[in-house]
Amino acid sequence: MRNLIIIGAGPAGYTSAVYAARAELMPLVFEGAVYGGQLMTTTEVENYPGFSKGILGPSLMGEMREQAKRFGAELVSENVTSVDFSSHPFKVIAGNRVEEAKTVIISTGASHRKLGIPSEDALWGKGISACATCDAFFFKNKVVAVVGGGDSAMEEASFVARFASKVYVLVRTDKLRASKIMAERAQKNGKIEFIYNVAVEEVLGTGVGHVTGLRLKDSVSGITRDLSCDGMFLAIGLVPSVDLFKGIVDLDERGYIKTKNVTETNIPGVFAAGDVQDAKYRQAITAAGSGCAAALDAQRYIEKLEEQA
């Protein structure tokens, strides 16, 4: 039986791995097929302390991963397929592999929210993307719409504008949610035009196999119109990655894992850290901080088990 299994490999997962490994808990980290989390699809990270000149998202995650490895965390790329927290030891299952542990840290993070319309599925990767740094390159001198009004929408729009000839930012309400610095940066960009009070009803182009435009509905007038464009980048928020834990770990009404005393879930010995339990801050540094807290909490929990034994 292991001391600790960490599920998920973003800033929260790796930070808890570093702390747990240094405490000689020899944690096993299920990174999944996709390690690094949301920062893998960003460019420059300017607000992570310790990097005065900024650092690229993937580089930061590569560093965290190396740091966890250096202290002996065991990293595996299997996807966890189910968990059993009904009895001690806890079981974490990945295909045929069954691992047992005294404690578990859930740090599965969150993924990009989609619009949830059929034409979106049909044209995903054919002009629709949620990763500007990956795909903006394919829209040189083209017209692109970015959907969203928060910081990530501003970042995506500014990045896409380096390539595209024109970028529309489609905002659902009458104002931006973005921080002032990010909004101003986008507003100053001559290629970016903001359209407020609109919702995307349909992505056009299923007939030809790539995006040719969007059907927009004005939420004030109710009028529908078509906006011609070659691509759509989504930045409409996040959904916590909790599918494995539904019915097992308590979730709040928005679907995030409920925690008390910072990282404790309703199951003693199972902790949660990072975006999967944080609908409020959602920063790399807060995720890392809660990953640290979860590792310390797991460590204390194990010490208590040993005292009782």
Partner 1 sequence: MAQTFTQDNFDAEVLNSPVPVMVDFWAPWCGPCRMIGPLVEEIAVEFDGKGAKVGKVNVDENGALAQKYGIMSIPAVLMFKGGQPVGQMIGSQPKEKLLEMLKKAM
Site for partner 1 in 193-212 (CB under 8 A): 209-210
Instruction: Mark whether 134 is an active-site residue.
Output: yes
Burial class (CB within 10 angstroms; exposed 0-12, middle 13-18, buried 19+) of 217: middle
Residue closer to partner 1 by CB (options 113, 177) is 113
3-state helix, strand, coil in the chain (%, to 5): 30, 30, 40
Binding-residue pattern over the window 149 to 168 for partner 1, x denoting contact by CB under 8 A? --------------------
Binding-residue pattern over the window 27 to 46 for partner 1, x denoting contact by CB under 8 A? -----xxxxx--xxxx----
In the complex, least distance from residue 151 CB atom to partner 1, rounded to whole angstroms: 18
In the complex, least distance from residue 38 CB atom to partner 1, rounded to whole angstroms: 10
Residue closer to partner 1 by CB (options 6, 295) is 6
Among 131, 267, 285, 296, which residue sits at the site for partner 1 (rule: CB under 8 A)? 131
Q: How many Cα atoms are found within 13 Å in the side-chain-facing hemisphere of 93?
A: 10
Among 97, 138, 165, 224, which residue sits at the site for partner 1 (rule: CB under 8 A)? 138
Site for partner 1 in 241-280 (CB under 8 A): none
Long-range contacts at 95-99 (CB < 8 A, ≥ 24 apart): 99/2, 99/5, 99/28
Instruction: Mark whether 121 is an active-site residue.
Output: no
Distance between CA atoms of residues 94 and 90, nearest Å: 13
Look up tokens 């299994």; give the residue: 5
Binding of residue 51 to partner 1 (CB under 8 A): no
Catalytic residue among 135, 151, 230, 278: 135
Look up tokens 């310390």; give the residue: 296
Residue closer to partner 1 by CB (options 69, 126) is 126
H/E stretch holding 211 reads none
Q: Which bin fits 95, alpha (ψ -120 to 50), beta or left (φ > 0)?
A: left
Number of chain residues interacting with partner 1 (CB under 8 A): 30
Distance between CA atoms of residues 238 and 153, nearest Å: 12
Binding of residue 79 to partner 1 (CB under 8 A): yes
Q: For the chain, report the end-to-end CA distance as a whole number of angstroms.
A: 15
| DSSP helix/strand/coil, 101 | strand
In the complex, least distance from residue 86 CB atom to partner 1, rounded to whole angstroms: 27
Instruction: Mark whether 292 is an active-site residue.
Output: no
Active site residues: 131, 134-135
Contacting positions for partner 1 (CB under 8 A): 32-36, 39-42, 57-58, 77-79, 124-129, 131, 133-135, 137-139, 209-210, 231
